[in-house]
Copies of this chain bind each other. A is one copy, B any other.
Amino acid sequence: MRSAQLTGTRDRILAVATDLFGSRGVDAVSLDMIASDVGVAKQTLLYWFASKDELVQAVLAGVAEQLTVAIGAAVRAAPNDPLERIDAVVRAVFRAAVRRPALLGLVREISRLPTHVADRFVADVMVLVERAIAYLETEMDAGRLRRADPRLVASLCYATITGIATEPEALRAVGWTPSISGLRRLRAELLDFIRAALAPH
């Protein structure tokens, strides 16, 4: 054995692969790049993951779990008001995205992946989406949210959040530079936008 790592080789590979796949895209990242970043030979990657596809699937599984846990905790901790809950979820997703910037970038990668690679991930996330849709619907029925098609509202919120979090170019184009305070302002503006879009009347 080479040495007693604090984290196992497999976990380090997953961490590096998540960052690289998310920030540059799956196609643009080679196994050699990941291996060299981790500090092992490419063959070591292929020992832990039989193929690149399998590595991508493992990375996606990790992302799905992180999102599920983060969102679940946020919902449980939030008061029962729908706007407050949406607020809490957006904050949770933002927090996750700040801690690991490539996370939402990876979510956006799925539309480019062959279906047999993305299927499992789509199924995992579908659970979250269905739950959100059901919740939106009951709140609309109760008049606490603006009446609309809950499925499309969920898509719109998703598109807005991941869009804003994964398009640094778009933000640079409007003269935005990343910083802690800038990020907080961005989040506040995003929350206002979504609140205004969903509030009744």
Contacts and interface: CB of A to CB of B under 8 A. Distances in A.
Contact of A194 (B118, B122, B197): B197
Interface stretch (A77-85, A91-99, A167-175): A167-175
Interface in A113-149: 118, 122, 125-126, 129, 133, 146, 148-149
A148 B111 contact: no
A192 interface: yes
Number of copies: 2
Contact of A152 (B148, B174, B199): B174
- Report the contact-size class of chain A (Cβ under 8 Å from the partner): 35 or more
A196 interface: yes
Interface in A166-201: 166-176, 185-186, 189-190, 192-194, 196-199
Q: Which 5 A-B pairs have the closest CB atoms?
A: A159-B163, A163-B163, A197-B197, A111-B169, A151-B174
Interface of A: 24-25, 27-28, 108, 110-112, 118, 122, 125-126, 129, 133, 146, 148-149, 151-156, 158-160, 162-164, 166-176, 185-186, 189-190, 192-194, 196-199
9 contacts: A110-B169, A122-B169, A149-B185, A151-B175, A152-B186, A153-B189, A158-B170, A159-B167, A160-B160
